[in-house]
Structure 1
C-alpha cells in the first residue's frame, strides 16, 4: 500500500490492524456520529467526570479567574471543546469580570464546532468566538506566532487518553509553543474507588459500547470495508494499581474483512483484541511530577466536592 496516497485515518487503520497487537487510535472516535454518541456518554449518571468538572467550573470559575494574571487582551484556546456546556460556565464568569478575550475552540468535527458556536452565541451574546476545525497541533502552531497571551483549556480528562510518554511529549509541545506566563487549565481524573471508575467506562446502557463500535462503522463507511459489526464485542478493564482503564474491541470468531480503499484484507483470530483507548487516572504526586517534567509549575488544583476530579492550573 502506498500510504502517501491515503489520509491519516486510512494509514493508522492499516498500521493498527496489521500490527501484532492490534490497535485503533481513540482520536478517531470523534467523527460526527462519534461526537453525538459521546454527548450521550457525558449525560449518563455513571459517567462522573462530566458532572464533576461541571461542578468545578460552575462553582470555582471566580477562583480560577483570580489566578489568571493577564492584563492585556488574551485568547482562551480550548482543545477538544465538545458541546461546550462546561466551558460556558467559565466563559460566563470571565465575561462578567470584564475580561477581554477571544474564545478559540478547536475540534476535528466541523459539525460539533458549528453547533458549539450557535449554542455559545445564544447563551453568551457578547462572546467573541472563533472556532477552528482541525488537529490540535496544526492549529496550535498557527496561534503560537501571534504573541497574544493564551489560557489553554484541555478539559474532560483528555490527557488521560495518552500513555505517559505521549502525554509528556504533548505537554512539552504545548510548553514549547507557549509564551512565558501563558497558562494551561487541564482536567485530570483522579484515582478513586475502582468500582466507580469501572462502571463509568462499562455502562449498563451500552452507550460506551456503541461509542467503540462506531470505529468499525467508520472503517466500513470511509474505507469501503465489509466488517460484520455484530461479530465484535466491547470490553474494558481498570487496574487500580497503575490507574489505567483500557478499552478493547473483541473478535467473537475467526474472521476477516476487506477494505477496498486500502486494498487489504485484515484477519482476526477468535477472541483477538483491538485496543481502542487508554483512560489514565492520576494521583496528585503524578500530577506534580508530570507538570515539572513538562516545564510547568502547578498553580492550583481545583476539585469537585467528592475529590473525584481536578481542573489543575499550570503556568509556564
Structure 2
C-alpha cells in the first residue's frame, strides 16, 4: 500500500470541505488519459504554447537575453516529453549558442525517456538530466559560474493558489542569481465559452481522467466507491479567473476505505475538490511577483491571445 497516498486521502476526506491532491491523478491510466486530453480539440493550452515555441522561436531567444559568447545552463522543471522545448534547443544549437540542457524531474524513468527522445533528434546537445527535488537541485547548481535560464512551462504554475505560486517563485529566486531568467508558461484569463470546454470535453475524456482517481482508491486502498454514483463537476468564471474541477456525489452515501479502516459520508451534491487551474493576466502575475526577486521583462503570446510565456528577470 502507498502509505502517503492513504494519509493524503484521509486528510482530504476528513475536512469539512473535502479535497484530494491532484498529483494522484497520474497513475499509468491517468497518464494515458492526460495524453488524450492534450490532443482534444477543446484543450487549447498545449497547442497555444507549442505555437509560441514553433512560430516565435527567434523572438523567444532574444527575449531570454542569452549571448553566444557566454555559456549558460538551460534548466527545465518537469520537462515531460520535451516536445515544445526541442524547437528552442534546435534553434540554439544551430545558431552556435554554448549551453547545457538540464531537465529536472522526480522520475528517473521520465528523464530516461526524455533523454533518449531528444538526443535521437539532437545528438550534439549537451544534456544532463537531474533527478530529484527542484529546489535541492537548483541549490546545488547555484554556485556554478554559468548564468541560468529556468523553464517552467505548460501553465503548471496554475495548479497552485496565488499564495503557493508566490512562495514557489520566491523559492526559485532564492536559488538563482541576479540576471538569471525564468520562462513561465501561463494560461491567460478568457471567456467561459473558451475555458470551460477544455475541462469538460464532449468526448468525456476529462471526466474519465477525474473519475480514475476513484478507481485508483478502490484498487490501491481498498475503497468501495461506486463510481457511477459520482460525477465530474467543472466550474469557471472569467471574473474569478480560476477553473475548478470537483467530483460530486449524486446521492447521500457512505464510502469505506479498508486500508484506513474508516468510513466517510457524502451528502447529495457534496463536492470533492480535486484541481484548480489559475488563469493569468499581467495584473494577476505582477501581484504574485510583488514580494519575489522577479519582474516581468517580456511577454510572448500565441496568435489568439490564449496563452503567454512570461520572461521573468531575477533582479
TM-score exceeds 0.5: yes
- Residue in structure 1 matching 2:35, options 39, 57, 71: 39
Aligned to 2:181: 183
Contact 1:75/1:103 (<8 A) preserved: yes
Q: Deviations over 1:94-117 (max 9, x none)?
A: 221222323222334554433322
Q: Deviations over 1:175-233 (max 9, x none)?
A: 11111121100111111222011111111111111221222233233333332223221
Distance 1:42 1:277 in 2: 16
Distance 1:130 1:314 in 2: 24
Aligned to 2:99: 101
Distance 1:302 1:33 in 2: 34
Q: Which residues in structure 2 correspond to 1:193-212 (within 5 Å)?
A: 193-212=191-210
Contact 1:225/1:259 (<8 A) preserved: yes
TM-score norm. by structure 1 comes to 0.90
Q: Deviations over 1:228-256 (max 9, x none)?
A: 22322101011111211111011222233
Please tell me the root mean square deviation across aligned C-alpha atoms, in Å: 2.2
Q: Specify every segment of 5 or more residues in structure 1 that has no aligned partner in the other structure, as ranges.
A: none
Over 3 Å counting, the alpha-carbon distance change for 1:264 and 1:94 in structure 2 is farther
Over 3 Å counting, the alpha-carbon distance change for 1:93 and 1:231 in structure 2 is same
Of residues 188-197 and 71-80 in structure 1, the stretch that sits farther from structure 2 once superposed is 71-80
Any idea what SS the aligned residue of 2:235 has? Answer: strand
Over 3 Å counting, the alpha-carbon distance change for 1:143 and 1:96 in structure 2 is same
Distance 1:140 1:220 in 2: 37
TM-score norm. by structure 2 comes to 0.90
Aligned to 1:238: 236
Q: Deviations over 1:42-61 (max 9, x none)?
A: 11111111111001011222
Distance 1:112 1:210 in 2: 23
Q: Which residues in structure 2 correspond to 1:148-167 (within 5 Å)?
A: 148-167=146-165
Q: Does 1:28 align with 2:28?
A: no
Of residues 198-207 and 21-30 in structure 1, the stretch that sits farther from structure 2 once superposed is 21-30
How far off its partner does 1:147 sit?
A: 5.3
